[in-house]
Amino acid sequence: MTVADALTSPEEVLRLSGVRKSFGQTTVLDGIDLTVHTHEVVALIGASGSGKSTLLRTINLLEPIDDGQVFLRGVDISDPRVRLDPVRARIGVVFQHFNLFPHLTVLDNVTLAGRSVLRMPRAAAERRGRDLLAQVGLADKAHEHPDRLSGGQQQRAAIARAVATDPELLLLDEITSALDPELVGEVLDLVRQLAASGTTIVMATHEMAFARDVAHRIVFLDAGVIAEAGSPAQVLGDPQQQRTREFLARFRG
Amino acid sequence: MNPGDRAALLDPSARAPSAVELDRRRYRRRQTGRSVVIAVVSTLVFAGVLWLTVIRTPGFERVQQTFFDPDVAIAAFPRVIEGLWLNLRVLFFAAIGVLVLSVLIASVRTLRGPVFWPVRALAAAYTDVFRGLPLIIVLYLVGYGIPGLQFSETRVPSEVWGTIALILTYSAYVSEVFRAGLESVNPSQRLAARSLGLSHGKTIRIVILPQAVRNVTPALMNDFVAMQKDVGLISVLGAVDAVRAAQIEVASAFDFTPYVVAGVLFVLLALPLIRITDHLSARMRAREQVGSAL
């Protein structure tokens, strides 16, 4: 047992420690420290290019990091000896552009990870998949292909796919940014439900009202560092940093 | 408004076209009539030119006798068709071999990371060499070279070597088609699959390859049609296929008609596939350009 393990509090789900990432000469993440506990909802806010999406991708190491460590339940998953595929199955991801598999039915999209990664029998995976589709209001779309669905429906299917493996952590990457305005509500309602049922969530978002409403903690990223973090009331209502104030002012237009 | 009225409103045929639309339709009908007249005239002109330049030539009668003699054609037909059966069998096994090998090569070439550099380089070298080598040289090298090694007591029939040579050459082309297909799939699909916990191999097999194949189906079919006729080249190794059978008949009849018979049979063999390929390409174009007539 390492020192890091011993220091881990029991309810800690995710801990980033000194995470750095550059693309060529551009430093995107410049030493990020962040801890997320069970049932917590953390909203990442910040301008485009502030590193929100990159930060989310480093969490399940879809983006290899240049320095620092990522702990999932106290285990350093950035250690190259760790097999990442089973780890990634424990972290659900929903993308801005849905990224559903267009050649598979909605149900097959949702059951794919269960069948191929967790090796669930098809019948059990499909039972679980149908339950999830019913929960997101798509029970009647199980056998449709994704291109037959509206953007909001596709994103709800993508959420069902992300939670199908019962992940310990759910990452949402600006999941309403690609939606028509009238479809945003149905997706946010679903996230609200997930948060209420105790799902641990880290989300990058531009929906400030929603973040204030649902998140327990707001993290403001600027130039690759966490410029300010705290409760929604504090960060959004009474920002301490000049750059947070500037960002929010620009945001309110 | 009651539901019946609304249905009537939604039914386009229930509406009387406006005067402007009627005028447009009249204009289009006139245009269609003109097109038909132009087509008929140009066909007649072409037939006339053909008659003048080919049929009225001094040597036409002799050419007709040595290439299009019906009696020779009927006599050669059984042997040529028997040979064609060998072509079909070779084609069947070669197609399966090409599919397996080319998917393998294309997948290897998508591997990332320095660990895989040797296999990647090997796959790249293979496609470079075999796309450059003329098929007929590959046929000679495989068909006469490998048996020359004498690692087996039993004699392997030359059509087997021909099949292997075809697989080697065509896999190099088809693997490039597959590679283009794999690269045509948006990288976000790979990201989504990996984030679910799928391994690299499963991501390729379950998520990327099915979409890739769809994107390159017309190109794959085109290569298959090309291979279908190149199967005739195995005759250079002495395998008695349709081309070789025709050659034997030519030698005994002193008449080139059997070659024409074999040629016609190859065309008939390829025709259904060519049609399917065209149909598939047209359907894909239609799907990608919904609403555009240009």
Nearest to B196 among A102, A103, A117 (CB): A117
Residue ranges in chain A whose pLDDT is less than 50: 1, 6
- pLDDT at residue B58, rounded to an integer: 84
Which residues does chain A have within 8 Å of residue B198's beta carbon, measured at their own beta carbons? Answer: 85, 112-113, 116-117
The answer to whether the Cβ–Cβ distance between B198 and A87 falls below 8 Å is no
Test B198 with A100 for CB contact under 8 angstroms: no
Mean pLDDT of all residues in B238-250? 89
Q: Phi-psi category of B239—alpha, beta or left, where left has phi over 0 and alpha has psi -120 to 50? A: beta
Give the H or E element holding residue A11. Answer: none
pLDDT value at residue A150: 92
Longest dimension (CA), chain B: 89
B136-165 per-position pLDDT tens digit: 999 999 998 888 887 777 788 889 999 999
Neighboring chain A residues of B193 at a CB cutoff of 8 Å = 101
**What pLDDT is recorded for position A93?**
96
The CA distance from A28 to A43, in Å, is 18
What residue in B sits closest to A61 (Cα-Cα)?
A: B195
Q: Which of B188, B196, B211 sits opposite A112 (nearest CB)?
A: B196
Residue of B nearest to A86 (CA): B197
Rounded to whole angstroms, how far apart are CA atoms B112 and B109? Answer: 8
Q: Give the distance from residue B240's alpha carbon to the nearest chain A alpha carbon, in angstroms.
A: 44
- Is residue B42 very low, low, confident or very high in pLDDT (cuts 50, 70, 90)? very high
- Model pLDDT, residue B54: 82
- Cα–Cα distance for residue pair B219/B225, rounded to 1 Å: 10
Cβ separation of B195 and A62 shorter than 8 Å? yes
Q: What are phi and psi of A68, to 5 degrees?
A: 95, -175
Helix, strand, coil fractions of chain A, as percent rounded to 5: 40, 25, 35
Mean pLDDT of chain B: 87
CA trace torsion A117, A122, A125, A131 (10° rounding)? 160
* Per-state percent for chain B, helix, strand, coil, to nearest 5: 85, 0, 15
Chain B residues closer than 8 Å to A85 by CB: 197-199
Provide CB contacts within 8 A for A195, sequence distance 6+.
A41, A201, A214
Compare CB distances from B196 to A89, A97, A102 and report the shortest one's residue: A89
Strands A67-72 and A75-76: antiparallel
- Contact check, Cβ <8 Å, B193/A101: yes
What are the φ/ψ torsions at residue A19 (nearest 5 degrees)? -75, 125
Q: Which residues of A touch B210 (CB under 8 A)?
A: 103
Q: Per mean pLDDT, which range of B110-114, B160-164, B170-174, B200-204 is the poorest?
A: B110-114
pLDDT at B153: 75
Measure CB to CB from residue B189 to each of A89, A99, A116 and give the nearest one: A99
**Closest chain B residue to A114 measured between Cα atoms?**
B196
Distance CA A11, CA A36 (A): 9
CB B180 within 8 A of CB B197: no
This model of the complex carries an ipTM of: 0.90
Q: What pLDDT, in 10s, does the model give residues B177-213?
A: 999 999 999 999 999 999 999 998 899 999 999 999 8
A101 vs B195, B197, B207: nearest CB: B207
Please name the residue of chain A whose CA is at the shortest distance from the CA of residue B212. Answer: A103
Confidence of residue B292 (pLDDT cuts 50, 70, 90): very low
Average pLDDT over residues B167-178: 95
Three-class SS state of A27: strand
Mutation choice for B interface testing from A58, A116, A173 by most B CBs within 10 A: A116
pLDDT of residue A1: 44
Q: What is the pLDDT of residues B8-27, one digit of tens each?
A: 556 666 678 899 999 999 99
Confidence (pTM) = 0.79
DSSP string, B184-251: HS-HHHHHHHHHTT--HHHIIIIIIHHHHHHHHHHHHHHHHHHHHHHGGGGGGGT---HHHHHHHHHH
pLDDT in the model for residue B112: 80
Encode pLDDT of B47-99 as tens digits: 999 888 888 888 888 888 888 888 888 888 999 999 999 999 999 999 999 99
Choose the mutation target among A111, A112, A174 for the interface with B, i.e. most B CBs under 10 Å: A112
Q: Which residue has the tokens 């929603």?
A: A210
Contact residues, chain B, for A165 at CB < 8 Å: 196-197
pLDDT at B291: 44
Rounded CA gap, B207 and A104, in Å? Answer: 9
Asked if A101 and B189 come within 8 Å (Cβ–Cβ), the reply is yes
CB spacing of B196 vs A113 below 8 angstroms: yes
